[in-house]
């Protein structure tokens, strides 16, 4: 069974703080890892992708990948109230000659003004 | 441009109705996906199309019938649905259905079965 695990939260941080979101996955062979943001009633929006071990930074967002530990994280610096949303970790799993993109249950982030 | 367009945005249908959801992308992507999302749950994969061929069916009931008429279009035909099928139906596309490409979602169709 291919699984992606996240803490459901809510994770509550004050405005301006760093929010740290974590994700683990079950398949050691997975190659592609994504973070999506989903506001209530809206569709998921891709915010970060990461494919190799280490850190990847894009503006206030940093994705971190550790394949040996099967662990992905997302850091949001200088958190803003507008960052309040559910953050979905997604991982690709190979199935025969095709791939599935499987989502974790999501972590709800609340940024307090 | 990372736009995936879904129509309609909202749909109410009776249990004996037949309806279709439509998804369109013009990014040249060759993989397209249907997901179902219930309230406060993550998106759940239903179907994957790769190069217009069905490559993954996640044991979805036959009352949901996907169709990929060409590389830009993806349909989901609905027939004899149950109230528990009410959900947000999301279409996504990616450059190819390999393990290394990003998937972009449409805005979804909110389906209510009465």
What DSSP string describes chain B? ---EEEE-SEEEE-TT-EEEEEEEE-S---EEEEEEE-TTS--EEEEEEETTEEEEE-S--TTEEEEEEETTEEEEEEES--GGG-EEEEEEEESSSSTT--EEE---EEEEE-
β-strand partners of B88: B37, B110
The yes-or-no verdict on residue B99 having pLDDT over 80 is no
Q: Is A40 exposed, middle or buried (0-12, 13-18, 19+ CB in 10 A)?
A: exposed
- Residue B76's DSSP bridge partners are B21, B66
Neighbours of A16 (CB within 10 A): 11
CA distance A25 to A31: 11
- Nearest alpha carbon to residue A100 among B64, B37, B56: B56
pLDDT of residue A97: 80
Going by pLDDT thresholds of 50, 70 and 90, the confidence category of residue B1 is: low
CB B111 within 8 A of CB B11: yes
Least confident range of A49-53, A72-76, B1-5, B49-53: B1-5
Q: From chain B, pick out residues whose CB is under 8 angstroms from the CB of A43.
A: 88, 90, 105-108
The answer on pLDDT for B15 being more than 90 is: yes
Cβ pair A46:B108 closer than 8 A? no
**Sign of torsion, CA B63 B68 B72 B73?**
negative
Give residue B96's pLDDT. Answer: 83
Is residue A46 within 8 angstroms of chain B, CB to CB?
yes
Question: How many A×B Cβ pairs under 8 Å?
Answer: 61
Q: Do A100 and B56 touch (CB under 8 A)?
A: yes
What is the Cα–Cα distance from A63 to A99, expressed in whole angstroms?
22
Q: What's the confidence (pLDDT) of residue B2?
A: 67
HSE-up of residue B99 (Cα within 13 Å, Cβ side)? 15
Chain B residues touching residue A31 (CB < 8 angstroms): 99-100
Distance (Å) from the C-alpha of residue A5 to the closest C-alpha of chain B?
A: 11
Nearest chain B residue to A46, by CA: B104
Name the residue facing A46 among B33, B44, B102 (closest C-beta).
Answer: B102
At A47, list the tokens.
């915010």
pLDDT at A98: 83
A100 with B104: Cβ contact below 8 A: no
Q: What is the pLDDT of residue A8?
A: 85
- pLDDT of res. A107: 97
pLDDT of residue B112: 97
Per the CB < 8 Å rule, is B106 touching A92? no
- For chain A, the farthest-separated pair of C-alpha atoms sits apart, in whole angstroms, at 48
**Residue B58 confidence class, pLDDT cut points 50, 70, 90:** very high
Q: Which one of B6, B42, B95 makes the best mutation probe of the A interface by having the most chain A beta carbons within 10 Å?
A: B42
User: How does pLDDT run along chain A (113 residues), one tens digit per residue?
Assistant: 779 999 888 999 999 999 999 999 999 989 999 999 999 999 999 999 999 999 999 999 999 999 999 999 999 999 999 999 999 999 998 888 888 899 999 999 999 99
pLDDT tens digits, B26-43: 999 999 999 999 999 999
The reported pLDDT for the residue numbered B113 is 97
Please state, rounded to an integer, the average pLDDT across all residues of chain B: 94
pLDDT at residue B3, rounded to an integer? 92
Residues 6+ apart with CB under 8 A from A51: A31, A32, A33, A65, B100
- What distance in Å separates residue B77's CA from the closest CA in chain A? 21
């Amino acid at each position: 069974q291919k699984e992606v695990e996240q803490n459901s939260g809510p994770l509550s941080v004050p405005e301006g703080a760093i929010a740290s979101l974590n994700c683990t996955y079950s398949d050691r062979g997975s190659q592609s890892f994504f973070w999506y943001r989903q506001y209530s009633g809206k569709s998921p929006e891709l915010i970060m992708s990461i494919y190799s071990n280490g850190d990847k930074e894009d503006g206030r967002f940093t994705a971190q990948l550790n394949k040996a530990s099967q662990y992905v994280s997302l850091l949001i610096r200088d958190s803003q109230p507008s960052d309040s949303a559910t953050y979905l970790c997604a991982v690709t799993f190979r199935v025969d000659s095709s791939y599935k993109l499987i989502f974790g249950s999501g972590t709800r982030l609340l940024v307090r003004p | 441009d990372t736009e995936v367009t879904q129509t309609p945005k909202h749909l109410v249908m009776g249990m004996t109705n037949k309806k279709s959801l439509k998804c369109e992308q013009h990014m040249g992507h060759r993989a397209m996906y249907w997901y179902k999302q219930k309230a406060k749950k993550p998106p759940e994969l239903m179907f994957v199309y790769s190069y217009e061929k069905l490559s993954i069916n996640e044991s979805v009931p036959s009352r949901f019938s996907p169709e990929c008429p060409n590389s830009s279009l993806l349909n989901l035909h609905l027939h004899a649905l149950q109230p528990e099928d009410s959900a947000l139906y999301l279409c996504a596309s990616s450059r190819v259905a390999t393990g290394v490409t990003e998937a972009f979602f449409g805005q979804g169709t909110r389906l209510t079965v009465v």
